[in-house]
Amino acid sequence: MKILHVNPTFGVVGGTETYLHNLIGDLAARGHVSEVVAEEDLTDGTVAPFHPLAEVFTPGKRWRWRHGGRLKAILHRVDPDVVHLHNTMNADLVRIAAAHRPTLRFVHDHTLFCPGLNKVFADGGLCERPMGRFCLEKYAGGGCVCFRHPTRAIARRFLARAEKLVRVHRRLARLVVASHYMRGELERVGLAAERITVNPYYTSVPEPRDATEDDPPLVLTLCRMSHPDKGVIPLLDALERIAVPYRARIVGAGQHEEMIRRHARRLELDGCVEFPGFLPHAQALELLWRARVVAFPSMWHEPFGIVGIEALARGKPVVAFDVGGVREWLDDGRTGILVPRGDVGAFAAALTALLTDPARARALGAAGPEQVRSRFVKERHLDVLERVYREVAGR
């Protein structure tokens, strides 16, 4: 089967891109051929044939006239059995793809049900309401953290764009999500439940190794440096409360990195908290072997949290806030510890418990690989995805 994947970026730069990169190789091993449409290719054409297209994520005013014809030409030239959309807010792109080829979308993020993209208010609270006029009410009262505009009219246009995106997705044969949380959010904006398939992300369980933990024990976090959604500030506040010896590494980059570093300095954490910056995915995963515990401090409703199952696969317990789809892979008390969202004291206590009790940390970590093998393996994910491809292509 020939699959044409569409995503803003192609290359291992984030969760969706890493998933797409791995997926193309794993599909190839099953005899499928993949090509990619994106704004830029960071793999230098070494992974799959690449077709450049402008404004894949957010369209300009005249996208249909400027770039829509190019998309149609790509569809005609490649002639895929299915088009597999990933991250986009471009309703015209979705409409054209669905009109010319069987099309599905893996909904990796909040773009279909939140104009602000993360359902977090400016005051840090979580939005639990479905998208609609309530979004404008919150705009008038201060706005969502990513939904701030100089006029109400501009905010209204952003909401209209999001609602248009939902309407065109009703034309797609199938939507795929990684968690039941995401399925519920799509249903709340009127997308039919019977066309939504839950297919959790996957990872591989590497061979066990006799890795030496750092001394003092290491708390490791792999995340984007953005506030407040990724929760790095609450994590630092929790680390400041830990009274036993430890080291922490917070790996990643982002728009709020300098602000986060300043906060660490204010808390006088310079001696025990390191910020190595962005690391290639393979190098970041290598650090997991040296950790006592992995901290997953996200404060937004995570669609899934793939770094969590990567930690479990390497036998590392995870401490996380109970948000979004996290509880669908983190088994509280068996593979890690879930704490209420924003409860910094509980987060610090959970980390302290595992830092001071290596036997308990090993016991929680030991259950991780088996959970990954039973629920988050490549074979299961690809079986479901192939079934969706056949169904969509048959239509």
Residue 209 counted as domain residue: no
Are the CB atoms for 306 and 203 separated by under 8 Å?
yes
Strands ordered across the beta sheet of 318-321: 273-277, 247-251, 218-222, 293-296, 318-321, 336-339
pLDDT in the model for residue 314: 96
For residue 228, is it within any domain? Answer: yes
User: Which residues 6+ apart lie within 8 Å of 236 measured at CB?
Assistant: 260, 263, 264, 267, 269, 273
Do 353 and 234 fall within a single domain? yes
pLDDT tens-digit profile of 27-47? 999 999 999 999 999 887 788
Q: Is residue 213 domain-resident?
A: no
Calculate mean pLDDT across residues 185-201. 97
- Residues 152 and 234 reside in one and the same domain: no
Give the mean pLDDT of the chain: 93
Residue 192 is predicted with a pLDDT of 96
> Tell me, what CATH number does 254's domain have?
3.40.50.2000
Are 366 and 389 part of one and the same domain? no
pLDDT at residue 153, rounded to an integer: 77
Place of tokens 């099953």: 30
Tell me the pLDDT tens digit for each residue of 212-241: 777 899 999 999 998 888 999 999 999 999
Supply the pTM of this predicted model: 0.93
State the residue range of the domain holding 106.
2-202+377-394
Domain assignment of residue 207, yes or no:
no
Residue 212: inside a domain, yes or no?
A: no
Q: Residue 121 pLDDT more than 90?
A: no
Are 182 and 325 part of one and the same domain? no
Q: Please determine, for residue 349, whether its predicted confidence score (pLDDT) is greater than 80.
A: yes
Would you say residue 337 has pLDDT above 80? yes
Q: Is residue 188 part of a domain?
A: yes
Enumerate residues 6+ apart whose C-beta is below 8 A from 227: 233, 256, 259, 260
The whole-number average pLDDT for the span 11-20 is: 86
Same domain, 134 and 153: yes
Cα separation, 99 vs 179, whole angstroms: 28
- Looking at the structure, tell me whether residues 140 and 262 fall in a common domain: no
The edge-to-edge listing of strands for the beta sheet with 174-177 is 50-52, 33-38, 2-6, 82-85, 103-106, 174-177, 196-198
Residue 126 located in a structural domain: yes
* Residues 50 and 159 grouped into a single domain: yes
Asked if 258 and 388 sit in the same domain, the reply is no
Residues 156, 240, single domain; the answer is no
Tell whether 47 is covered by a domain.
yes
Q: What is the DSSP letter of 56?
A: S
Number of domains in the chain: 2
Q: Judge if 54 and 7 occupy the same domain.
A: yes
Q: Do both 53 and 173 map to the same domain?
A: yes
Same domain, 384 and 326: no
Q: What angle do CA 357, 360, 365 make, to 5 degrees?
A: 125
Residue 244 has φ and ψ, to the nearest 5°, of: -105, 160
